[in-house]
Amino acid sequence: MGLAAVCALAAAEPFERALGLYQRTDYDAALKILLPLASMDGARWELIGKNYFMKGDFKPASEAFEKAVAADPNRSDCHLWLGRAYGRRAETSSFVTAPGLASKARRSFEKAVEIDPHNREAMSDLFEYYVQAPGFLGGGMDKAGALARKMRQLDPAEYHSLEASLAEKRKEWGTAEQQLRRAVDLAPQQAGRIVDLARFLARQGRHQESETWFQRAAQLAPGSPRVIFERARAYIQAQRNQSEARALLQQYLALPLSPDDPPREEAEKLLKQVGG
């Protein structure tokens, strides 16, 4: 093995260890490995940013993602995560700085979609921005609708889910329900689609129907962290089944979570609401 190969292997090993720790949600331990590394390419800065983001440290997260974008400007996911970090900073900052950060989030999401028009996560995040943000910050239902239609060819179930979000925003409850049921029909093995319908029904006060769908999701994906978390959250938001919500959250916190699951901190906050 040549010297260059040996050096590349030595550099890769800490990164792989850090990536494994990130996947196990041990963000502090991952950062302890990553931050002292002398060689920092785009992938390392991106992983540093993800660890900070998952810890809720959004300013250092955005700074790391900025460096990742500078190192690898054509990587769609780097722009996506930078947008997420700016977005969370906007949500938690003052009214003076929030608009500028929100605009940066939008531009980052748009850049991610521009680089990779098939990046469904970037499209979904940009859609959410368009739905939630006011017009003076670049939001708008027309923009969201156009983006949803582009999703139709990539992921028909997700397209109907986005259409449901638009209908719910317009308070068109019947249309929203129809779209969510269509998403379930198109992707009957995706527990997340069933959970979305269950949560909608809970918000409508149709608790018995919601419970039936949550049970179906739990049968389809036994032990799924997301199903457990969302069921508990639906109970708490509806101010019902508080003891069961507490038990579900305790079960959730005992699971080996991944970065794709709702953050542990969110579950802990909900648990406090029900006296856990």
* pLDDT at residue 78, as a whole number: 98
* Domain final residue pick, 133, 160, 185: 133
Lowest mean pLDDT among 34-48, 72-86, 122-136, 181-195: 34-48
Q: How many CB atoms lie within 10 A of CB 220?
A: 16
How far apart are alpha carbons 113 and 55 in whole angstroms? Answer: 26
Residue among 190, 192, 196, 158 nearest 177 (CA): 196
Question: Measured at the alpha carbon of residue 257, what is the angle toward residues 218 and 116, in degrees to the nearest 5?
Answer: 90
Residue among 162, 161, 221, 211 nearest 191 (CA): 221
Compute and round to an integer the Cα radius of gyration of the chain.
20
How far apart are alpha carbons 12 and 14 in whole angstroms? Answer: 6
* pLDDT at residue 154, as a whole number: 95
* Domain final residue pick, 133, 165, 185: 133
User: pTM for the complete prediction?
Assistant: 0.90
Asked whether residue 232 is assigned to any structural domain, the reply reads yes
How far apart are alpha carbons 105 and 275 in whole angstroms? Answer: 36
Lowest mean pLDDT among 8-17, 61-70, 170-179: 8-17
Number of domains making up the chain: 2
**What mean pLDDT comes out for the span 66-85?**
97
Between 246 and 276, the higher pLDDT residue? 246
> pLDDT band at residue 7, thresholds of 50, 70 and 90?
very low
Asked whether residue 144 is assigned to any structural domain, the reply reads no
> pLDDT band at residue 12, thresholds of 50, 70 and 90?
low
CA dihedral 89, 100, 136, 180 (to 10 degrees): -20
User: What CATH number does residue 218 fall under?
Assistant: 1.25.40
Q: Give residue 142's region: left, alpha or beta (phi > 0; psi -120 to 50).
A: alpha
* pLDDT at residue 38, as a whole number: 78
- The two tokens of residue 72 are 């690898």
The residue type of 125 is D
Asked whether residue 177 is assigned to any structural domain, the reply reads no
pLDDT, the chain, mean: 94
Residue 65 makes CB contacts below 8 A (sequence gap 6+) with 45, 46, 49, 78, 81, 82, 85
Q: How confident is the model over 153-170, as pLDDT tens digits?
A: 999 999 999 999 999 999
Q: How confident is the model over 195-213, as pLDDT tens digits?
A: 999 999 999 999 999 999 9
Residue pair 197/180 in contact by the 8 Å Cβ criterion: yes
| Tokens 């990742």 found at | 68
Give the residue ranges of DSSP H helices in 98-206: 98-115, 120-132, 141-154, 156-169, 173-186, 191-203
How far apart are alpha carbons 196 and 230 in whole angstroms? Answer: 9
Asked whether residue 80 is assigned to any structural domain, the reply reads yes
Asked whether residue 121 is assigned to any structural domain, the reply reads yes
> For residue 145, what are the CA distances in angstroms to 71, 118, 123, 124, 200?
33, 17, 12, 12, 20
Q: How many CB atoms lie within 10 A of CB 45?
A: 22
* pLDDT at residue 39, as a whole number: 82
Q: How confident is the model over 50-66, as pLDDT tens digits?
A: 999 999 999 999 999 99
Q: Is 137 exposed, middle or buried (0-12, 13-18, 19+ CB in 10 A)?
A: middle
* Domain final residue pick, 133, 158, 184: 133
Share of the chain above pLDDT 90, in %: 93
User: What CATH number does residue 18 fall under?
Assistant: 1.25.40.10
Q: How confident is the model over 224-240, as pLDDT tens digits?
A: 999 999 999 999 999 99
Asked whether residue 32 is assigned to any structural domain, the reply reads yes
Residue 81 structural domain: 9-133
pLDDT tops 90 at residue 4 = no
**What mean pLDDT comes out for the span 20-26?**
96
